[in-house]
Homo-oligomer: A and B are copies of this chain.
Amino acid sequence: MLWSMSTRWLDPEERAAWLRFAAVMELLPGALDAQLRRDAGLSHFDYFVLAMLSEAPEHTLRMTALAQKTNATLPRLSHVVNKLEGRGLVERFPCPEDGRATNARLTDRGWDLVVETAPGHVETVRHLVLDGLSRTQVRQLARISDAMLARLDPEGRMQALINPDASPSVD
Report A's interface with B, CB cutoff 8 A.
1, 4, 7-10, 12-14, 16-29, 31, 39, 71, 118-120, 122-123, 125-133, 135, 137-153, 158, 161-162, 164, 170-171
Contact = CB atoms under 8 A, between A and B. Distances in A.
Nearest to A117: B1
Assembly stoichiometry (copies): 2
A152 B21 CA distance: 12
Contacts of A1: 39, 119-120, 123
Contact of A148 (B28, B142, B152): B28
A127 to B, nearest CB: 7
Contacts of A20: 141-142, 145-146, 149, 162
